[in-house]
Chain A
């Protein structure tokens, strides 16, 4: 069901661009439309920048989901950073945007179709998010 993963390691700001580009290419390949490609790229940017800014080290991986019913791109971002203490708070509208930090995680959730986050303080954060190809 799943094809092989491709990953980008995030350490420098430049890596964010590489992750965006890879995400967009995979999306394009499986038939995601122009607008959704741009949304996926923005979502990747956002989670990759979180890794770059707060965790310092981590990776963003891409996978294609292809089932009988639907096709989509799965993005998994994993880091071993400080973790998030209060996930509900960071998922709240206005929490990160008011500080000028960009779209924040609620933005990622809006840009994508499915969104899941797990985080443990001092261990790290894993974000899994999917965008389905619109029929």
Chain B
């Protein structure tokens, strides 16, 4: 006897026992059987039918009205059965999609992988965590032939798969011209043209591009509408926003960007981030940039990588472990 047949027989037995004794044990048995029915994809109309058959066998010749009423009930169950089947098939589809996305996400990780360059006088820490499986933030660190360090942080407005696809394009464009035109202003202007040509209107990308020259300790930077970073001035012992003007990428093909510079001294620190950090919500309110600075300050004494990890952990907890947006934070500390 297969499990199904066994359940059918069992159903009748339990039903009989329950009608005779009204005991809890039979009801517990009913619960078990119903789980087994679900596991075997038995639809509600079949259960009603099973019930009718059991009743006919157990109590033949009982009230006709009862049987008619149960046939009526059976009829009303058909659509529930369909809804259940549809739910099952949608669930399977969802699992398929999920596994496809996780393959895509791991591909993205491989494609967009970047390693933190070793620089004698600069301690760099990086963390980037997607809100969903795929990351719409992008960061890129590269050492040029002349020994300068290029640091890019970008954010596609929007998240998920479209944002992630967009980022692959940004990465390959950056790589194709970062060598010959390693200058933040030119890089953004070139990138802007690529985005303007290839990305549909309505999708915006912000980027902060910085270039650090270890021989002069100067950080050159330009911004395309990106979230301002923070500069910690060790001498004055204060944080200030790194404000840089510039239109988001892709709005108009001839956008020009301004380039700024900042000389880093011993103990100074530069923090670059995406709005996933500043738009962390606490009980529905956006947190203020003072609070972000406060949190960074608390961990600033740690080595850069450890510090960004701790800052992330703090905001992760603040958002009850459910990131609302992709989160990227880069910290650079001048040691010497």
Contacts and interface: CB of A to CB of B under 8 A. Distances in A.
A110 B74 contact: no
A97 interface: yes
Majority DSSP secondary structure for residues of A touching B:
helix
Nearest to B48: A35
Interface string A28-44: 00000111001101100
Contacts of A111: 78, 82
Given A103-B79, A107-B82, A34 B74 contact: yes
B268 interface: no
A97 B46 CA distance: 22
Interface residues of A, number: 16
Contacts of A41: 75
Interface stretch (B85-93, B123-131, B238-246, B325-333): B85-93
Interface string B83-105: 10110011001000000000000
A33 B49 CA distance: 10
B45 interface: yes
A44 to B, nearest CB: 12
Interface residues of B, number: 16
B168 interface: no
Contacts of B45: 35, 38-39
A94 B93 CA distance: 11
Interface in B255-302: none
20 contacts: A33-B49, A34-B49, A34-B74, A35-B46, A35-B49, A38-B45, A38-B78, A41-B75, A93-B86, A93-B89, A93-B93, A94-B90, A97-B86, A102-B79, A103-B79, A106-B86, A110-B82, A110-B85, A110-B86, A111-B82
A33 B46 CA distance: 11
